[in-house]
Structure 1
């Protein structure tokens, strides 16, 4: 098949593509409904996978980014015609723009329904005083800088290119409830999500003339692999830091809390919410989706900060002043 024929397949209707039935259907990536095309980053697992699955179930065509060829093939096999893999790392600016050019070539002058900036990491729990700057830079590079890079690359397809046909698209940024408040020893993660919130707010206002909505999705604890990263990415200072005992307590608390019934929501909850937001004519600025609403959201964000400080420091064993010359009082907690 020639390159021209290969490109033309993407916009064929169901009956027209019958001539290609001798080819594996999952390899075609045919865009059946040009008004329902969404780009989602980080779809190999977790929230991104749940979002892609929900959109495909509603017959959206998903251009989903993964970093590994094996994940691309697995998702093609599962989602079939409604999924086209984009293989790139969100921190690779050149690869991101190459992917955007590929999507543009297949959209045939039409806008996207949406961009879901989902790819993200958690570099682990560290006292800010001991946080390796390399880890901080990695956290911000993936969760903040890369989100701006991806957004810049796909903005023309969302409607800043006024020559395209179709309605303006929406940008959904996957933030976190922890972008609005910060728990001890999770400064890097919260900084990245707070930064993403700031970017979202600025973009929302800047893109108003183009009709492009920018929406913050703020999940609370969701049952994904990122919680495993919180523990696995821990770095011990081997007793050299006065914060060691406190950080160990934070890890123990995280492991205990995450085993409690009802602590997590399922990723599928986020997937369905994303579908609904993409199809809402006047979406809210932010959607908070969390279990334990009072504990995880209302209390930390609406109560006076000094009261929140008291409760949070008590939970993490940080409420009692240390005696000068000793950290033994911390070990007694």
Structure 2
């Protein structure tokens, strides 16, 4: 039997990079993609097929899918990994920046899903793994744009799973807590895009690198390394009956607690956090 195939987005760094390696080591034929192909050199040397793929381009998505089909005749797994975090109080995030956040984190996944689904339906099986976050089911001050994109991913994924069940296709959500990658560095850079109002001093204290480093982004309590997320993604892809969602890291109890604790209590806790930082 030929090796199964997987298409992964956002493999230049972090979780995508680690996951491409994990799939390759597990014996999969890996198509590792990124907007910057030069960032994929070591993955190509490791045995992955690499390609340029900007998830904001439907043409890129369709071209990579066609290349996989020409070479292997099938796509067994799509891992929608690409994403970044836009920081800022909701009022200070320009609408164009919010639109870009949604275009990459949410609409990018939709483009890839649309590109692979006709072929998965034809072959009668496949797995789609969408990257969400614990912020797809909760929120945190200063990360409203990012959380909005991940809540959208959760809704799309849950709906899609029901819609394609008749075709033997599994649809899975990955919900990591903090993961130490370059995500935090890029997120901090997005502060430069904000339209400041002088109304949210707490935000600039909370996300001050000198004061708190990246404690409230990707180095929070219980943060994990990208290799841990990669293990879970491969587990989901290889399972005959995968879970609907996988929480990665020691955050599952807090996510479930969010369903029990009233919103008013959560808001009060965040209010205290803002006041005493």
Which piece of structure 1 moves more, 62-71 or 217-226?
A: 62-71
1:247 aligns with 2:194: no
Q: CA deviation at 1:292?
A: 5.0
Question: C-alpha root-mean-square deviation of aligned residues, in Å?
Answer: 2.2
Q: CA deviation at 1:34?
A: 2.8
Which piece of structure 1 moves more, 65-74 or 230-239?
A: 230-239
Helix, strand or coil for the counterpart of 1:184?
Answer: coil
Q: Which residue of 1 is the match for residue 58 of structure 2?
A: 93
Q: Which residue of 2 is the match for residue 230 of structure 1?
A: 187
Compared CA separation, residues 53 and 236, structure 1 to 2 (3 A): closer
Q: Which residue of 1 is the match for residue 78 of structure 2?
A: 115
1:42-53 equivalences under 5 Å are 42-53=10-21
Give ranges in structure 2 of 5+ residues lacking alignment.
none
Helix, strand or coil for the counterpart of 1:50?
Answer: helix
Native 8 Å contact 1:43 1:64 kept in 2: yes
Compared CA separation, residues 203 and 43, structure 1 to 2 (3 A): same
Helix, strand or coil for the counterpart of 2:207?
Answer: helix
Q: CA deviation at 1:50?
A: 1.1
Native 8 Å contact 1:178 1:193 kept in 2: yes
The separation in 2 between residues aligned to 1:238 and 1:201, in whole angstroms, is: 34
Give ranges in structure 1 of 5+ residues lacking alignment.
1-32, 318-331
Native 8 Å contact 2:68 2:75 kept in 1: no
The separation in 2 between residues aligned to 1:260 and 1:229, in whole angstroms, is: 14
The separation in 2 between residues aligned to 1:228 and 1:154, in whole angstroms, is: 32
Q: CA deviation at 1:275?
A: 1.3
The separation in 2 between residues aligned to 1:219 and 1:71, in whole angstroms, is: 23
Question: Normalising by structure 2, what TM-score?
Answer: 0.91
Q: How many residues align?
A: 274
Cα deviation, 1:187-210, whole Å, max 9, x if unaligned, reads 110010000111101110110110
Question: Normalising by structure 1, what TM-score?
Answer: 0.76
Picking from 108, 114, 121, the partner of 1:160 is: 121
Q: CA deviation at 1:239?
A: 6.4
Q: CA deviation at 1:35?
A: 4.2
Q: Which residue of 2 is the match for residue 281 of structure 1?
A: 240
Compared CA separation, residues 254 and 292, structure 1 to 2 (3 A): farther
Native 8 Å contact 2:98 2:145 kept in 1: yes
Q: CA deviation at 1:95?
A: 1.4
Q: CA deviation at 1:211?
A: 1.1
Cα deviation, 1:59-111, whole Å, max 9, x if unaligned, reads 1111111222322333211x12xx11121211111111111111111123xx3
Helix, strand or coil for the counterpart of 2:107?
Answer: helix
Q: Which residue of 1 is the match for residue 166 of structure 2?
A: 209
Helix, strand or coil for the counterpart of 1:75?
Answer: helix
The separation in 2 between residues aligned to 1:133 and 1:238, in whole angstroms, is: 10
Native 8 Å contact 1:177 1:220 kept in 2: yes
Q: Which has the higher contact order (CA 8 A, sep 6+)?
A: 2
Helix, strand or coil for the counterpart of 2:231?
Answer: helix
Native 8 Å contact 2:138 2:255 kept in 1: no
Q: Which residue of 1 is the match for residue 258 of structure 2?
A: 300
Native 8 Å contact 1:91 1:146 kept in 2: yes
